Structures are given as structure tokens and as C-alpha cells.
Amino acid sequence: MTDATPTAEAAHPMITCTDVHKWYGTYHALRGITVSIEAGEVVVVVGPSGSAKSTFLRALNRLEPHTSGEIWIDGVRLDAHTPKIHRVRAEIGMVFQQYNLFPHLSARDNVTLAPRQVRKMPAAEADALAVSLLERVGLGDKINSFPSELSGGQQQRVAIARALAMSPKAMLFDEPTSALDPEMTREVLAVVRELAGEGMTLVIATHEMGFAREVADRVLFFDEGQIVEQGPPAQVLGSPREERTRRFLAQVL
Amino acid sequence: MFASVVAALCLAATTTEEALMWASGGIVLGWGGLGAALLLKQRSMWLLQRVVIVGWVALWPLAVLLLFAFGGVPTAQWGGFYLNLLVTAVAAMGALPVGLALALARRGPYRVLRWAATGYIEVTRGLPLIVVLILSWLAVQRFLPSLLGLNTVGLLPRLLTAYILFTAVYVAVAITGGLNGLPRGQAEACKALGMSGTQSLRLVLLPQAFRRALPSLAGELIDLLMSSTLISVLGLTEMLAAARATTEQPAFFGRQKEVLLFVGLLFWIVAFTLSRLSRRLERRLSGGSGIGER
């Protein structure tokens, strides 16, 4: 337990956002996001490009500092004064569209780096963890491969293993399959599906509507920096109430 | 431990000049040992590895011992190709850590350090090396305090310091370029994993930046060898000065061509070796990681 972890008795959502705004200069990216996500919930964020899905996810671990409003992660408030922001980030895994693997390290070292350096895990233990995680994402035979020797889908699965190695309380997926062809998309989504089944808290931004419908407990429809509509996938994706949602779905389905 | 040995040697030295030479010896020694250990990190070459490392470690103190201990040759009288190699080696190895510090200070979180580093880099970049060398020759004697005998330090240690401080700027620029060329996602991935700024620099960003900077660093090294001939302007008899002095002797009148060709060949051999070594190092470092291909 780190000191960023509050007492277990306090029943609070994993992630709470209250009226969160983000300005880039004069551009208003996030326009009053209020949402709360329970532990174990799988939330899928959909919406057109430029709707600030990414910005929203990146605000949740303060890769993008928000301008106003409140973000609480497991009882810790994120703001400029959050002491040791990297301790909060260590508890939140993130998977990027561009994988962002470390190209100078093997798959194994990509996975063991943070546990060893941040969690001070002994080398042997970290190695064993890396092997088991890479096997779990179906890459048991690529342990010593470098990122440049792996396909996009394989790289993304290493990136998922790397995030999982920190035993995060929640995982953020920022369009994890947007750079992948359909077959690789399938192999990555299979891993995400498994995580969802295991009760991990997931926030996933994606354009894969079928996948959203299948794994989501709740779908958030983003447009122009706002949550236009939210609810169970069958309702939001099946019979949307809002005109903007209908228009978006008509385009992508 | 290593640093304390060097410090002890510095204290044991009787003059500041001697101490500075020991310190520069320590620089070469440290890097030499490190380089040998890294390049020969193969179990099959264990014996050779030992010999090379011990050889490297023993070489410098031996040279300084020979030059100082028996009667003592003042550094002002050191000469020949050894002097060129000495200047190149000490300047290169001293400039790497100083340049790294400058590069980090320039992008670091402390405004004062940032300004100081940027100012130092921009000013020094605008000066020709020869000006810096002449400054170290003239100004130091006038303006440095007599504390620790700094104002009486001999010409060679002062020139070596000047070379280090000058070259460090170009090292800093090369490393900064390497860091700026990295995709933003690399730093973000470090942050998302909970790594601190120092951890991400040390483990992820700098290793990649160094690989990217390697070609220009190798270029700087060869430049350094060539500009080591500049110390002849200040009266030290390095290789080129020695060559010129030779052709001025009656016995060698009319032999400039041969002498200069020989000296040129000598420089070419070392420069060519350095450039081949750096190519090999680049290939070795990019092996499997794919950074070199991008």
C-alpha cells in the first residue's frame, strides 16, 4: 500500500470527475465532464474524432492537466498540488494508440522496468512476472524480442502486459486498436475482453462499436468535449435518445 | 570508490598542477575501464577482458608516473603525437559528463540553471576554439585567485580544461538534439507507468538520445583530434609543431613534403580508426532495437 491509498472502508467510486474543463489556449477541449466510474466497471468511450475522448482519458492520469473541476482517483484528488503524482499514476495503467514501447529494451525488459524501478521488485520476481504476463497475452515465445521485431498487434499486447505488471487498480485504453489491421485488432481485443471478464476497472476509448456493445457495462458518447449520452450499450448504441448520437452511429455502423 | 581513489591521488600530489593532471588521468582511466568492460562483455573473452581492463587502468598512472616521478618533466615540455592524443582523450572524456550536465540543466526544471546553461552554450558556441585557448592562456593567470595556487597552474592543464569546457558545449547540443528527437510518447509511457522524471531520463530517454547523438558525437571526437594541433599556437610542441620544427633543421631542408605526408598519415590513421569504431558501436547499439533504422 502506498500512502496515496485511502482506507478500504471509505466506499467511493474508482474514478470521479466533477465539472472537468480543459482549455488549450482559447480552444475549449473538455466542456464540463461529470461522471463517476465504479471499481470493476467497464466503461467504453465512443464518439467522433476530435470529440476529446483522448483528452478525457489522459486527464484521468494527469498526462493532460485539466483546467478546472475535480478529478478523484480512488480517493486521491488530482491537481497541481497532488504530492507524488507518479504514485497515483503507478496505480493506473495506460495503453496508447501508438503502443509507445521502449525500443531499446526487449519485451521482457519493457515489462520489468517499472516494477523493478518504481515498485523495487527483486529482479527474479519481476522476471517471473514478465514471463507469466507475456504468456497471458499470448507472447510467451517473444520474451526476448525487441519491439522492432514485433508486429503492431504483438507490440500492443506487450504494452498491455507492461501496464498490467504494475498491478494497476484501473486501466485506460486510448484507442488501442486504431493503428492495427483487423486481424491484429482481434488479438488485442481478445486480451482486453479477458481483462474485462476478470473484474478489472477499464476505461476504453475505441471506434470498435461491436466490441463496445459486447464488453461495456456502460457507454459514454462524447461529442465536442461533452458527454452527450450515457447508459448501457444496448440503449446508447441500440436506441439512442440524442440526435447527435444517432447521426454518429449512422456514420460508423 | 573510484572517485575517492582519484581524490586521494589528487591530495597526494604536491602541486595543483600535478593534481589536475592526476584528475585528468582519472577521467581517462574511468572511461577507459568502462568502455573496455562494455565492449568486451562476453564470457568467452574473459581473460582478454581482464588483461585489457587492467591494461587500461594501469596505462595512465604509468605514463604520468614516468613523466613526473623520475626527475620530472614539466608539462610545458611534453610533446609529440602523445600530446595530441592526450588532448583528444581528456577533452572528449571530460566533455561527455560536463556536456550531459549542460544538456540536462538546459531542459531541467530550475530556471536559474536553465538560463545559465543556455547562456553558457550560446556564448561559447559563438567563440572560435583558438580564442578560448588563448583566453585560458592569458586571462587565467591574471584573474584566477592565488588560492590553491590556481594562478600558477601550468599551461597544459589549463588548455585541457579549456578543451573540455569548449567541447562540452557541442556534446550538450548533440545530446539535446537526441532528446528532442524522441517521440513524445516515450516520456508519456514513463509517466503513465509511475516513473519519476529522473528515472525516465536515466532508463528510457537518455539511452535512446545517446544512440541518436552518437554519429555527431563521433564527428566531434574526430574534430577534436584535428583541433588538438591548435595548442602549437601557444608554444606546445605537439605533432604538427614538431614536424615544422624538424623541417626547419638544416639536415631536413627540402623535406617538408615527406614530413607533412607522414604527419597527415598519422592523423588519418587515428581518425579513420575512430570513425570505424564509432560505426561499429552504432551498429552494435542499434542491433535488434531498430532505433538506427528510423
pLDDT tens readout for residues A11-44: 789 999 999 999 999 999 999 999 999 999 999 9
pLDDT at A206 over 70: yes
According to CATH, what is the number of the domain B74-292? 1.10.3720.10
What is the mean pLDDT of the segment spanning A191-205? 93
CB contact under 8 A, A114 and B188: no
User: How far is the C-alpha of A173 from the C-alpha of A99, rounded, in Å?
Assistant: 10
Please give the C-alpha separations between residue B61 and each of B21, B64, B106, B124, in angstroms, as whole numbers. Answer: 10, 5, 35, 32
Cα pseudo-dihedral B108, B99, B158, B124, rounded to 10: -80
User: How far is the C-alpha of A72 from the C-alpha of A84, rounded, in Å?
Assistant: 15
Instruction: Give the bridge partners for A17, in sequence order.
Output: A35, A71
Instruction: Give the bridge partners for A46, in sequence order.
Output: A221
Q: What is the mean pLDDT of chain B?
A: 78
Give the model's pLDDT for residue B68.
61
CB contact under 8 A, A96 and B191: no
Q: Is A27 helix (H, G, I), strand (E, B) or coil?
A: strand
Cell numbers placing A162: 507492461
User: How far is the C-alpha of A79 from the C-alpha of A82, rounded, in Å?
Assistant: 5
User: How far is the C-alpha of A31 from the C-alpha of A50, rounded, in Å?
Assistant: 13
User: How far is the C-alpha of B64 from the C-alpha of B19, rounded, in Å?
Assistant: 11
Longest dimension (CA), chain A: 55
What is the mean pLDDT of the segment spanning A219-224? 94
CB contact under 8 A, B193 and A103: no
Q: Cell numbers 471509505 label which residue?
A: A10
Instruction: Give the bridge partners for B52, in sequence order.
Output: none
Give the model's pLDDT for residue A4.
47
- On whether any CB of chain B is under 8 Å from the CB of A87, the answer is yes
User: How far is the C-alpha of A94 from the C-alpha of A60, rounded, in Å?
Assistant: 10
Which residues of chain A lie closer than 8 angstroms to B204, CB-CB? 102, 104, 113
CB of A137 closer than 8 Å to CB of A156? no
CB contact set of B244 (below 8 Å; sequence gap of 6+):
B232
What number of other Cβ atoms are within 10 A of residue A152's Cβ?
A: 16
ipTM of the complex: 0.90
- On whether any CB of chain B is under 8 Å from the CB of A63, the answer is yes
Q: Is A171 helix (H, G, I), strand (E, B) or coil?
A: strand
Q: Cell numbers 478546472 label which residue?
A: A68
Residues of chain B with CATH 1.10.3720.10: 74-292
Q: Is A119 helix (H, G, I), strand (E, B) or coil?
A: coil
Cell numbers placing B34: 568502462
CB contact under 8 A, A100 and B188: yes
Q: From chain B, which residues contact A within 8 Å (Cβ)?
A: 183, 185-186, 188-189, 191-196, 199, 203-204, 207-208, 211, 288-291, 293
CB contact under 8 A, B183 and A100: yes
Q: What is the mean pLDDT of chain A?
A: 91
User: How far is the C-alpha of B132 from the C-alpha of B160, rounded, in Å?
Assistant: 11
Q: Is B67 helix (H, G, I), strand (E, B) or coil?
A: helix
Give the model's pLDDT for residue A50.
87
Please give the C-alpha separations between residue A13 and each of A21, A84, B51, in angstroms, as whole numbers. Answer: 20, 21, 63
What is the mean pLDDT of the segment spanning A45-52? 92
- In eight-state DSSP terms, residue A94 is E
What is the CA B264 to chain-centroid distance, rounded?
22
pLDDT at B137 over 70: yes
What is the residue type of A164? L
pLDDT at A116 over 90: yes
pLDDT at B7 over 60: no
Which residues of chain B lie closer than 8 angstroms to A61, CB-CB? 191-192
CB contact under 8 A, A100 and B291: no
CB contact under 8 A, B192 and A162: no
To the question of pTM greater than 0.90 for the whole model, the response is: no
Q: Considering only CA atoms, which of A201, A205, A228 is closest in space to residue A217? A: A201
First to last CA, chain B: 40
Residue spans of alpha helices (H) in chain A: 53-60, 85-90, 107-117, 123-136, 152-164, 182-197, 209-215, 233, 243-252
* Per-residue pLDDT tens over the stretch B75-121: 666 777 878 888 888 888 889 989 999 999 999 889 999 999 999 99
Q: Is A25 helix (H, G, I), strand (E, B) or coil?
A: coil
Rg over alpha carbons for chain A, rounded to the nearest Å, is 18
* Per-residue pLDDT tens over the stretch B267-291: 898 888 888 888 888 887 765 444 4
Give rounded-to-5 percent helix, strand, coil for chain B.
Answer: 85, 0, 15
CB contact set of A21 (below 8 Å; sequence gap of 6+):
A28, A30, A31, A32, A33, A66, A67, A68, A69
